[in-house]
Structure 1
Amino acid sequence: MKQHIALYRTWRPQFFRDVVGQQHIVKTLQNSLRENRLTHAYLFNGPRGTGKTSAAKILAKAVNCQHGPAEEPCNECDTCRRITEGAVMDVVEIDAASNRGVEEIRDIRDKVKFAPTEVRQKVYIIDEVHMLTTEAFNALLKTLEEPPGQVMFILATTEPHKIPATIISRCQRFDFRRVSLDEQISRLDYICRQEGVDIEQEALQYIARLSQGGMRDAVSLLDQISSFSSGKVTYEDIVAMTGGVAADQFKKLSVLIRERRIGEALQLVEQFLQAGKSPDKCVESLMHYFRDLLLIKIVPDSLASTERILDPASFAETAASFSREELFESIEVLNRYHGEMKYSSQPQILFEIAVMKLCHLQGQEAPSPQASPSSPVSAGQGEDWAVLKRKVEQLEQTLSRLMASSPAPASGQVTTPEPASRGPADQFGARRSGPAIRKPSVNLEAFIRDQESPLFKQALSKWSQILALVKEMKITVHAWLVDGEPVSLSNDQLLLAFKSAMHRETTEKPANKQLIEQAIQQVLGHPLQLVAVMNQEWKDALAEEPEAVEEMKLEPDEEQQGSKSPWVDEAIQLFGEDLVKIKKD
């Protein structure tokens, strides 16, 4: 009985022309081989299953082929066959995930000094090179910088950002891209014809979509599906085998969501779960379905929509019943619940909640004409409104009691919550007997006049230092303070404009406010008091042009003006009033 070999191994590319979807890389390498302009180090990076390691082995064969170096290896000579089998000791393939230490790299560094014994050039293929330790990269660095003339390094990785820049700069980098849908379908169709697998075109397209641009994943899935079905492989077979949900089922679910038929929608969800579907996979697939609806609605004739969507006409009909805002919000809801499923022990409940949430969103945008005032949905909405109304009334009553029990501050006075008492080290003002109640609006005239004060410019330039010091002192206070922005300074009071009322109120708590003021004094060397205002209040105050007020000044007479000359004041400071006598001319 002949042993079965996995299709991805059987159809692994052996020539450059067999590498699917990487023509830009293949052409560059073939030109280098033809012109004999090969370098000593290459870096192949890209998603998994796109041909990085296969291209590395083909390059090793092309360099060492007995009929080469040539643009394509012959795969017939003894050298090509033995490199394919992995039997040439001068062509070494290393898995950096399991050989990531410095000792393995030092062993390579010691062996590269010796000339190759079996082939023309030594080739080291290091797969998943980003898994090497820092010490291993340091050991590899010198060898990559000044390698022997008969050695070539080919590094392959899926995460190039984890490789030190010093390593990347010494390699020629090639970025492998995801294989397009058409190229995958063409390659899968060729393999099916060679292997005698009868399969529908829609099934091939579904396989290509599931592989997400990885050719090896697509071939592996094709191998699994050909074993699943004894006859012709259909689209329904692939959906059943992969645990997915057919597009027509999602269409039915989307219609139930749009019409706010929550009961029937939950019954359909239960059918999915009873059929063994994974809740997180269903939510992910439903999110992709709404994504396709949005795509067909915004750019119906784009390449992205025609590649992903099997039946554009059916999608266009469903997409017409949703607005763009509804589709955007639906995708956001599904994405949020899909992320929460990773940490939940009951993902099926989150799936049901996500569907009910989608029904609620559609109800907010366009209530269904079938819903009557006596329906459960309308009753539920009425209860929500009643609860919200009661809460608002309670808040209004509480606010009225607070305003009635507190004395109104004098006009133009800025009052902020302060501690009941301060310690001896307080330099910001006199002690206060109790916390003051802030006026609904702050008098901002003085702050508007003093926006250009030198001290404010200094505070503004050092605000990042103040934030950093607050973060060191207490990180939670820093989290609230970053919402505020310094806008003015007047009478040793620094005015901050906040976007969020909650951030403003938390920052003004006595303990938090005192800590911030201490940080300000340490950075600026000058005590300032913190005053807060909402950003919109500040903008409104700036929009109102203040009336021009003519200032009345008393002009000193000539005798007084002369006595206050700067050089006279300086002489008095240097020698004292007893020794300085002012004589008139």
Structure 2
Amino acid sequence: MSYQALYRVWRPQRFSDVVGQELVVTTLKNAIITNQISHAYLFAGPRGTGKTSAAKIFAKAVNCHHQVNGEPCNECETCQAITNGQLNDVIEIDAASNNGVEEIRDIRDKAKYAPTQADYKVYIIDEVHMLSTGAFNALLKTLEEPPANVIFILATTEPHKIPLTIISRVQRFDFRRISPQDAFNRMKFILDQKQLQYDEKALWVIANAAEGGMRDALSILDQVLSFSDNQVELKDALLVTGSVTKQLLKKYFLQVAAGKSAQALTTMGEILDQGKDGQRFIEDLISFIRDVLLYQESPELLHVEATGLTTEDFDELIKVADAQTLYSMIDTLNDIQEEMRFTTHPDVYLEVLTVRLSQQKAPTQANAKVDNQVVNQLQQEVVTLQKQIQDLLKRSTVPAMRRQQPVVQPKTTPQSHFRLNLEQVYQVLDHATKGDLTNLRDLWGDALSLLDSAQSSLIRMAKPVAASPSGVVVAYENAFLLEQAAGGSLAESLGKALEQVSGTHRTVAFVPSERWPKIRQDFLTSRGYYDKKAAAAPAEKPKTPADPIVAQAHRLFGTDGVRVEDN
């Protein structure tokens, strides 16, 4: 028999074998025990976290006549047929290649017939987010009126692409990423069963490189076993994953923390000469600094054995940089990582990164004392300037002819760095209508539900004030929140969310609430609204505006929101 990959051989066959999904497993088992089985489920989560495996186990459990406490026996004819993919009543479908209307209609028609061998006919649709709009509509009808003894299990890595009408008709289970500890324990169990030699530090390297996917961890373990002749050694795991040794990371970190950029660049050259991947190096360095930060704040939060370092190493590392310096380093790493995504010369960015990190040494106590002295001096100067300003204001009643010198106005610091993009706002207003704004407000809540928690909290403090078929103007009352919204990726994320709920892409423009009336008035003025009204006929003319500019203003802001004045 040909060789089978580890993730296929050791695929979970019972709920107890599913790694890191205790909440999901317990809920499904209780549903089987109490016979509270729903007609449709949605398994959502990252790749390699057990979604399809849990679906097949569930299909076995609901059809097994010998199940105990919700677990299938895996010995009866039905269980073995499902395990081997030979039971006609359990159908697995890949929506990535079967995403058309005809395929779903075929499922809908066949679902009407009773199961032939099992108690339940189970349809497992993998990557269901790949279905077309027509296919989703065809599936929706079946989910609304499900046939008896039919169960649908939808699996996806991108639940935000599934229509809300589908999600509202299924029970949703979110599979979380597998923790490095759980991945380590599973790999250790498998290697013990196979009676193979391994280095636990190598398993930790693989568990961290898998980034939450159990299947990815077993695939990497397979590569290491093939590379090292059925042994798992640290050097081989580092080579296969492209990771950097902890001691080399420690050396590099100590050099940049001490401001020794020349030595750090030499170490960086050693890393590149070993063929290490630049992106993987940055990820490893972020994880390394994160471990130092956790140990610095509270050592009990960190599992030292899982890091590949010792307690003595961390005791040395936490002395060379304070928390603020570590935060700054992580921000710099994130910036460089984003810039490196599309470059063909990562070594240049890594060298720049090394110099920047070397220049982020925390200020010494002597420098801090000097800074305090400067602050105190500046505060005294501010008090003096304030007194001078008060004196000037008191003298403002003196006749102008007695003033020998012009008064120099003090410069004020702007309260916000937000820059209003009037051109973008006007592009929205040129095609905006009151009806578009009303429709947008109806979809507003659905769009916000698709954003992450941070962006959703930020946008909930604002409201849409104008909308067109291709754009929306959002007003903020708080200047700080406006600056945060405009300076990040909120506009792009909100535009994509609106496209998902409405089917139309929209650009998003932000404005301050206090400036919105003036912006609206300036827009009408720039479009000749007031000029044409001044030349219009007397008041006995019909109330319905004949002028196209007036009509556009009424469509944009409503008849109650527009007042015409003769200038």
278 and 127 in structure 1: CA distance in 2 versus 1, 3 angstrom threshold: same
Instruction: Name the aligned partner's letter for residue 113 of structure 2.
Output: F
1:465-544 matches, within 5 Å, as 468-469=425-426, 472=429, 518-519=522-523, 521=525
Distance 2:276 2:289 in 1: 19
What's 1:84 paired with? 83
Please name the residue that 1:105 is paired with.
104
Contact residue 259 and residue 368 of structure 1 kept, 8 A: no
> Displacement of 1:219 after TM fit?
1.6
User: Within 5 Å, which residues of 2 pair with 1:369-518?
Assistant: 440=409, 468-469=425-426, 472=429, 518=522
Assess, with a 3 A threshold, how the Cα gap between structure 1 residues 139 and 470 changes in structure 2: closer, same or farther: closer
For 1:486 and 1:63, the matched residues in 2 are separated by: 54
Distance, in Å, in 2 between the alignment partners of 1:236 and 1:164 is 47
Question: TM-score, with normalisation over the residues of structure 1?
Answer: 0.64
Larger-gyration structure (1/2): 1
| Distance in 1, Cα, partners of 2:524 & 2:34 | 67
Identity %: 45
1:549-572 deviation per Cα after TM superposition (whole angstroms, max 9, x unaligned): xxxxxxxxxxxxxxxxxxxxxxxx
**1: CA distance between counterparts of 2:478 and 2:239?**
61
State the alpha-carbon separation in 2 of the partners of residues 59 and 484 from structure 1.
49
Aligned to 2:356: 357
Describe the shift of the 1:439–1:124 C-alpha distance in structure 2 as closer, same or farther (beyond 3 A). Answer: farther
Structure 2: 5+ residue stretches without partners: 368-395, 398-406, 413-419, 432-465, 467-472, 488-510, 512-517, 532-567
TM-score, length-scaled by structure 2 = 0.66
AA at the equivalent of 1:193: D
Check whether the contact 2:294–2:302 (CA below 8 A) recurs between aligned residues: no
What amino acid does structure 2 have at the position aligned with 1:137? F
Residues 309-355 of structure 1, C-alpha deviations (whole Å, 9 max, x = no match): 64343123212210112111111111111111112221110111110
Letter in 2 for 1:135: G
**Contact 1:96–1:131 (Cα < 8 Å) also in 2:** yes
Residue aligning to 2:134: 135
Report the CA distance shift for 1:62/1:470 in structure 2 as closer, same or farther (over 3 A).
closer
Question: Partner of 1:177: helix, strand, or coil?
Answer: coil
Distance 2:212 2:239 in 1: 22
Paired letter, 1:46: G
Question: Residue 43 of structure 2 aligns to a residue in which SS?
Answer: strand
Preserved CA contact (<8 Å) 1:63 1:69: no
CA shift for structure 1 position 3: 2.2
Q: CA deviation at 1:174?
A: 1.4
Query: Could you tell me how far apart the structure 2 residues matched to 1:442 and 1:345 are?
Result: 46
Shift of 1:55: 0.8
Q: Is the 8 A contact 2:220 2:241 kept in 1?
A: no
- The residue type paired with residue 40 of structure 1 is H
Match of 2:45 in 1: 46
* Aligned residue number for residue 562 of structure 2: none
Alpha-carbon distance in 2 for matches of 1:325, 1:106: 59
- Residues 158, 515 of structure 1: alpha-carbon distance in 2 compared, 3 angstrom cutoff: closer
CA distance in 2, matches of 1:26, 1:483: 45
Of the structure 1 ranges 149-158 and 262-271, higher mean CA displacement relative to structure 2 is found in 262-271
Match of 1:35? 34
Counterpart of 1:285 in structure 2: which amino acid? D
Secondary structure of 2:197 counterpart: coil
Q: Is the 8 A contact 2:38 2:151 kept in 1?
A: yes
Q: Determine helix, strand or coil for the equivalent of 2:151.
A: strand
- CA distance 1:135–1:308, shift in 2 (3 Å): farther
Structure-1 residue corresponding to 2:116: 117
CA RMSD of aligned residues (A): 4.0
Partner Cα distance (2:246, 2:351) in 1:
19
The 8 Å contact of residues 282 and 333 in structure 2, kept in 1 or not, is answered as yes
Check 1:33–1:309 CA distance in 2 against 1; reply closer, same or farther (3 A cut).
same
1:256–1:91 Cα change, 3 Å: same
Deviations 1:221-246 (A, max 9, x none): 22221222236422222112222111
Structure 1 position 154 matched with structure 2 position 153 = yes
Unaligned runs of 5+ in 1: 370-410, 413-437, 444-462, 488-497, 508-513, 528-585
Distance 1:486 1:361 in 2: 33
One-letter amino acid matched to 2:30: N
Worse-superposed segment, 305-314 or 349-358? 305-314
Change (3 A) 1:142 1:517: closer
| 1:314 aligns to 2:318 (yes or no) | no
Question: Are the counterparts in 2 of residues 197 and 226 from structure 1 also a CA contact under 8 Å?
Answer: no
C-alpha separation in 2, matches of 1:312 and 1:473: 64
- Output aligned runs, 1:240-251, within 5 Å: 240-251=239-250
